[in-house]
Structure 1
Amino acid sequence: MKVVNGMTAALLVSLVPVMSLSAAQPAAPAAAPTPAQLTGLTAQQALRKANQWRNAGGVQSFVTSEAVVFKFPSGEQKSVALPARQMVIAIAPYVNQTHPCKTHFMSGCQGELANTPVSVLVKNQAGKTVINKTMTTLPNGFLELWLDRNQTYQVTLKSGGKATSGTLSTQAGSDTCVSTLKLQ
């Protein structure tokens, strides 16, 4: 046997696969979400966290007209209040399939058009444009629109040469999930 730097060639060869395996080991799983991770977050940050935690550790999350709510497997519940002047409405435009929904569950609602560019035009009751931009639906197929409270809005969505329109309401108790806008 040949000796290389004090090791036999056989020993050196047998170490190569071990070193390769240890370098290819998967990273440790991320820590399970906890209520403490929500401390100090704004409603917008809490909504982003809910979308990040969509499939993480059994956390259930949804948004009402008043708060982003998290229910943890331990039974603990934590809410992050929405701003006094705004609320969020999640819209899942669709072409072929949808689901009936009134309260948007970030941990469960799935729209048909994930990661899809959508032209969004929102006008208030006076006809003033409040949103006019192209947005990309989230991996769950939803657009999240932050709108002033106590208003009724007209929304028009366009994607893939198809369009739809409808009415949104931001009153106390209004739906936070709109899954009825079919692109035609």
Structure 2
Amino acid sequence: MRLSTRPRLIVSAVLAALVLAGCAAQPDPERETEAATAVEQWAALDATELIDQLEATPVDERPQDVMASIRQDEVLVSAPDGSQEVSVPIEESHYLSIAPYVDQTHDCFFHSLTTCTGEMGGEEITVRVVDDRTGEVYVDETSRTHDNGFAGFWLPRDISATITVTAAGRSAETSVETGPDDLTCLTSLQLT
């Protein structure tokens, strides 16, 4: 019995799909094991150590086998392929990473310790954070941004504050909140 043209095309398409599926890249168990080990090593640190170490690591030396994203109450550490994710709790404080800029920025809500970069790496900045309700000064210091262009600050949770950043004779100011639904990555401070 001979198949008509249409059924032969369908059979050919199904066979081609099966062949291509068989030729697709297969998971690499060794690479997955390495990524899982890296995730476990970073997740073994407490949140403060994890954040401090990754923020201070020069951009070209940052780990390629792990992703780390800061949420309001945890750092999510994961393998780049999404095969593993571990939560490292943040106790009591809210971490806010600030990347002031002059010419170029990116949208950001949750700071990525492994991929976020700002334009002002290694620059001296003065940062002042003042509570909008009480006038309490939480931060008033001159520091240097990390190689990734960010400077991070531990702030009390559930406050409204005004942040002022000054660098090289330019400044910017904005309001922030540190509640359960607020950002951990501030990239909208354009210095003028």
Q: TM-score range by the shorter chain?
A: 0.7 to 0.9
* Alignment partner of 1:111 is 2:111: no
**TM-score when normalising by structure 2:** 0.73
- Residue 122 (structure 1) aligned to one of 123, 126, 129: 129
Equivalence for 1:92 = 99
User: In the TM superposition, what whole-angstrom CA distance separates every residue of 1:46-88 from its partner, at most 9, and x where no partner exists?
Assistant: 11243339631331111011111111257121111111x2110
**TM-score when normalising by structure 1:** 0.76
Answer yes or no: is the 8 Å Cα contact 1:53–1:107 preserved in 2: no
Greater than 4 Å deviation, 4+ residue runs: none
| CA RMSD, 1 decimal | 2.0
Q: Percent identity?
A: 26
Which amino acid letter does the alignment assign opposite residue 143 of structure 2? M
Answer yes or no: is the 8 Å Cα contact 1:43–1:68 preserved in 2: yes
* Alignment partner of 1:132 is 2:140: yes
Answer yes or no: is the 8 Å Cα contact 2:121–2:145 preserved in 1: yes
The alignment covers a number of residue pairs equal to 153
Q: Write the distance in 2 (CA, Å) between the matches of 1:34 and 1:43.
A: 16
Equivalence for 2:108 = 101
SS of corresponding position for 1:34 = helix
Q: Write the distance in 1 (CA, Å) between the matches of 2:105 and 2:42.
A: 31
Q: Write the distance in 2 (CA, Å) between the matches of 1:53 and 1:158.
A: 23
Gapped runs of 5+ residues in structure 1? Answer: 1-30
* Alignment partner of 1:67 is 2:100: no
Change (3 A) 1:105 1:41: same
Gapped runs of 5+ residues in structure 2? Answer: 1-33
Q: Write the distance in 2 (CA, Å) between the matches of 1:134 and 1:34.
A: 34
Q: Write the distance in 2 (CA, Å) between the matches of 1:177 and 1:69.
A: 14
- What displacement does 1:37 show? 1.9
